Amino acid sequence: MLIKVYGAAVIGIDATLITMEMNSTRGCMFHLVGLPDAAVKESYQRILSALQVNGLRIPQTSLVINMAPADIRKEGAAYDLPLAIGMLTATGVIRDAEDRLPRFLLMGELSLDGTLQPIKGVLPIAIKARELGFEGMIVPRANAREAAVVNRLAVYGADNVQEVVDFFEGKQTLEPTVVNTREEFFARQSTFDYDFSEVKGQENVKRALEVAAAGGHNILLIGAPGSGKSMLAKRLPSILPPLSLGESLETTKIHSVAGKLGGEGGLITTRPFRAPHHTISNVAMTGGGANPQPGEISLAHNGILFLDELPEFNRNVLEVLRQPLEDRKITVARSKYSVEYPASFMLVASMNPCPCGYYNHPTKPCVCTPGQVQKYLNRISGPLLDRIDLQIEVTPLPFEKMADARPGESSAVIRERVIRARRIQEERYAAEPGIYCNAQMNSRLLARHAQPDEAGLALLKAAMTRLNLSARAYDRIRKVARTIADLEGAEHIQPGHLAEAIGYRNLDREDWATR
């Protein structure tokens, strides 16, 4: 008997349909073809054990299984369930399921006792199943909520292979998992662990973070140990604009492929905040590996990548960030294929000003020489620093401000101002594909939307000369000034906006390390 069962393979963050053709004839041979890897080939032993424990048995027969298309490598144990159901149907153990089976897409890993284990990448598979017009999808129960985010697709969660067998034999019905996607999405959009109202003082840094959030600008916080750099960075997601439903779905797909959704599944409703350790490797940062997986820059897509102690990162790891920061995507190339992952993130970094950490500290003396300070700063290359729009000094708070019991301005209030500024930018760049915030402006858009008047140009010229600002700061200052103007609702950039933006370029001053 020849039958077909449908599954899917995840390539990048999208799924491709895999058709498992099974032909059962007289004999005692088993052949699995179609470029399966070792984990797929080992499925035969897992399937035999799972079926035996549940009182099922495959009759002695010659069975040939082809996983098409044959030029796509099939990886992992997620094909156990469709292979098991297909083998039982092809050998006649499951009867009268030939017409019903093609209406469903099946995926799941089998334990030796027949229990269905959760798998990665269920969300892009569910999206593909709906796109191809499948009636439903059967997955492990642990993955059911994740797949049920996709509407107009019946998603059935099963605990054991016996439940799936009974479902196709008509002995048992599986209850579809229902998730109200929009209700869940909007209910959890404003849930944060940290709030700016808990921050004492640091008004200038909070203002810089507000500007960064409003324009999508990368930001570097530089200050002594204990001055609050990490504490402030962790609160930045609470003032970013909420995810749109499309952004939420795209972000959830990436985390689904990486297996990072956790037990609850469902949509990711708040912007990601990824903070990898400085010992991270190139592959872990950008993605890839023998079986390509998204890296930290893709897991931070539509959110924040926080690099604490920036100079301690391997220089090669930092340099590979340069292209994704510009292109907002990363391509992992191999000899036979390439995989593209989105990587549109805000880079937020922090660092000490010198090896001892106390350069320019108000009370503690620095023991580093100017040469040591400059050498420490030189661990960050000019091209990477060029992509960081705001560079802010964070100074330790005096005791009086730390002891102040009055709460600061809440994240909700700051977020409203950020959202208003982002709406202005969305309208401004509505006709520009791929550009949605000021940080992404190119030279043409800068000339159109961020051209200073004569007074502003005179201020810029004086700043470039007096403060020894580098030439690369010119465009960055204009971008940040455009964001400051948007926060105030101003149509044109004013000298005051430029003056504030100039104050956010500390490391561009040639005398910074010798003050």
**pLDDT, the chain, mean:** 89
Q: Evaluate if residue 60 carries a pLDDT over 90.
A: no
**Which pLDDT score is estimated for 501?**
92
β-pair partners for 10: 15
Which one, of 269, 266, 254, 282, lies nearest residue 342 by Cα?
A: 254
Q: Evaluate if residue 265 carries a pLDDT over 80.
A: no
Q: Evaluate if residue 87 carries a pLDDT over 80.
A: yes
Q: Evaluate if residue 118 carries a pLDDT over 90.
A: yes
Q: What is the pLDDT of residues 183-237, one digit of tens each?
A: 777 777 777 888 898 888 888 999 999 999 999 999 999 999 988 899 999 999 9
**Which pLDDT score is estimated for 472?**
67
Structure tokens belonging to residue 98: 């030939």
What letter would DSSP give residue 174?
P
Q: Evaluate if residue 94 carries a pLDDT over 70.
A: yes
**Which pLDDT score is estimated for 415?**
94
Q: What is the pLDDT of residues 380-406, one digit of tens each?
A: 888 888 889 999 999 887 766 766 667
- CA separation (Å) from 87 to 19, 68, 481? 14, 16, 65
Q: Evaluate if residue 89 carries a pLDDT over 90.
A: yes
Q: Is 409 exposed, middle or buried (0-12, 13-18, 19+ CB in 10 A)?
A: middle
What letter would DSSP give residue 453?
-
β-pair partners for 157: 139
**Which pLDDT score is estimated for 263?**
64
Which one, of 313, 268, 328, 263, lies nearest residue 118 by Cα?
A: 263
Q: Estimate to the nearest angstrom the gap between the alpha carbon of 503 and the chain centroid.
A: 31
Q: What is the pLDDT of residues 402-455, one digit of tens each?
A: 666 677 889 999 999 999 999 999 999 998 888 889 998 888 898 899 888 899
**Which pLDDT score is estimated for 513?**
56
**Which pLDDT score is estimated for 139?**
97
Q: Evaluate if residue 274 carries a pLDDT over 90.
A: yes
Give the Cβ contact number of residue 37 at 10 Å.
Answer: 14
**Which pLDDT score is estimated for 510?**
56
Percent of the chain scoring above 90 in pLDDT: 58
Query: What does the alpha-carbon distance between residue 367 and residue 289 come to, in Å, rounded to a whole number?
Result: 43
pLDDT-derived band at 334, boundaries 50, 70, 90: confident
- CA separation (Å) from 504 to 221, 343, 465? 10, 25, 16
